[in-house]
A and B are shown apart, each in its own frame.
Chain A
Amino acid sequence: MIDLAIETSNLTKIYDQIVVVDHIEIYVKRGELVSILGPNGAGKTTLIKILTTVLKPDEGTALINGIDVLKEASAIKSIIGTVPQDYVFYEELSAEENLIFFGSMHGFPKKELELEAKKILKRLGLANRKDKTRNFSGGMKRRLNIAIALIMKPDILFLDEPSAGLDPQAKHVVWDYIKELKKGGKTIILTTHDMYEAEMLSDRVLIVNNGKILAEGAPETLKEKYSQRNILEVVFKQNDKANEFKSVIEPNSFIKQVLIEDDKKVNVYFDGGIISFIKILQEKAIKDVTELESMSLRQTTLEDVFLHLTGRRLRS
């Protein structure tokens, strides 16, 4: 029998007649890191809110460590930690005061919390900041947001867009810490619309759109399954050339999709051999190579999987 940390069945949430979470069935094994990937409004945060007992589902069941979220919400609250998308703590208090406060809500003794808070703050590089958290940078606030969830020593951690709005350096600090937590055996559910983040951190990815799970699996499996086509990325020097190129290339039978980005960049998804494609490019599509900024064949990403499944880019 598989040891499941999270199991949902037919989970549904409706707001004003709009189905935000649509009969979702997921399972997460203990110690697994699963990313829920989808655009804004896909239903990711609502799903997390149901699993963390903040929202009640309109239909279906959800079990956390075998405990029903509807029947035993308080038991679930003592085994989960949540990291909301926003910076959610008291800006008038210091980092340590925030940690001790939220830890106290779980009934942990103050002495134990003080020691634990110092340990976590040191690991996250916040030990030297004794001032109000209002003065913290975005990266520091993000790390504190995570630290608050960890002081509760949760079995299962829900991270809602943990690196949103951070610069690349700060993102890496957060990612390294998430990897460390995973190594430590924590079950982690992560929602994101950052493909790279999902691909790099996750054991499995759930692609969600309009409240439904469109696909799930390991990042590599998904890429193999849903995007076996070749991708040619062409960047023109001038704006008007991309449309002209698209109109010439699109009618060919082996071209599956042509997508223009930023007026100059074109992604061509095609089946079949590269030789025949280059021939067409030479004869019809690109009359003058000096019009090109760059041209490259590239690897399939989760973004391409999402595009294949939904017909649109994740951020569009």
Chain B
Amino acid sequence: MEARFTFGRWFGYGLLTAATILFSQPVTAAPQSTNEELLTLPGEIGKQGGRIVVSLRAEPKTLNPVIAADTPSREVILGAMQADLIHINRATQLTEPALAKSWKVSEDGLQYTLNLRNGLRFSDGQPFDADDILFTFRVYLDENVHGTQRDKLIVGDKPIAVRKVDRETVVFQLAKPYGAGERLFDGVTILPRHLLEKPYAEGKLSQSWTLATPANQWAGLGPFRLKEYLAGQKLVLERNPYYWKQDTKGNRLPYLDELVFLFVPNADAQVLRFQSGETDLISRLSADNFSLLSRQQRGFTMSDAGPGLEYNFLFFNLNGPGEKTSPDLARKMKWFREVKFRQAVSQAIDRDAIVRLVYQGRGAPLWGPVTPGNPRWLNTAIPHPARSLEKARELLKEAGFTWTTATDGGPALVDSEAKPVEFSILTSSTNADRTKMATLIQEDLKQLGMQAQVVPMEFRSLLDRITQTKEYETCVLGLVSFDADATADSNVWLSSGGNHLWNPSQAHPATAWEAEIDKLMEQQLAASKYDQRKKAFDRVQQILVENQPMIFLASPDILVGAKTSVGNFHPAALEPYVLWNVEQLYFKDALGYARQ
């Protein structure tokens, strides 16, 4: 009943907006301005008009780029509503000009001089210039604002200094060379000073730009601007008539009139919406759902964009036993700290089976932290040893483990104190893929005589156990790098990092190899040459593989789909997988948007 009611309402909206668009088209045509320096994008020439509907797995928490931390907010803000100075092209994974039309880096790698595009306007028609950039960086770097990007903009323990040369030139001064260079500017979206200066001065910046903000109080430099938000249902964005990109024929982008985000929390429900034609694009598909949609052939273009940056792994609790650690767990931690034990587990895992059974072959087995989706940083020298139970048994024998006969007649591994090797593997109960991986690992380890129990758990309590109480034995988890760069996952590899999952936020590195990783990560960050950085990061990968604090398992392909009528659909392996070129998406059939 509920569903039908909602559908009816959308139906009404669809007709209404279609009509409005038809009649208001000439009025909202691009404003004429002679000195605008537009960016010309290559690619198919599209048709103007239409609306694309996509599912979002949760409601964005905010539209404020300064404090946005959750994925849905970032996806909406970075993907469609705001723009940055220098942007990483999601397809080539290289930087390219955005609001800055060109830039220069000084010899010592400390000074970045950015030349801004002339004559640009925010989505409310107000001009954009160097003062907006000064304001933006002042806000991002202000400690009292608690911006989520602040850490990234502090290089060598000092905040980046910003200086305005003239209306179109800005100089950024770094305290230390920064390895990733201009990639730094990707995702740092520029704020409109004319709207946010007042709330900032009043100390209310973090409360402004909620989802309930009236559309006229909001402005951005992205392809779309805020139109309407219906709590719990959808966020409607409309075309930004002042957007600063055009196609090769001089048509101002974006082609679409509207971009609608529907809030659909469940992955299966997203598939149903896509299947029924309610949404036009779908990303983050599981392999099962992908082959389901591929089999149906109902006017969808299903696309396997190759391995992404997600890596899944099994890791052990390598925290030192504390005062509250139970004797049982402390005993197990002794095994986990034995590197040969970890290597043996790695040897026994059938990674090909994981790729085949969990990802239906749409993925890549992993032996290190860098996925094939990131060829620039992948250490190709890392060996890919085939699964070998013999080698695993040898390693266990060397580490002092022996075997007895279990009650069911099979082998049972026991440690040097003749205690059976039994432990639990935590997984997130909402992630069927990882639970499947854990079940396969359980069977693999059973052949070594280890008794593993798979414990699916609600994700928040799982994180709580790993980072707070540290009461767990092993866990299967996955991470997605936000950028294809060596610095992207510093938080995971540095021993002081909060995502250094096996032993997070250490005051001092607990082991020699962790100390070496810390040093190498610092080295690669300070080096300005790619070769030097690559060498350091290759070594980091090698150390990780030698010590196996995480046993890398597999990386899924990025699986996406679109209606065949959507043009310029070129999914990328980086987030946002299908919306990264949203300004170029269009409907091949003119009636594309009237269908709802």
**A and B interact:** no
Interface residues in chain A, defined as those with a beta carbon under 8 Å from any beta carbon in chain B: none
Interface residues in chain B, defined as those with a beta carbon under 8 Å from any beta carbon in chain A: none
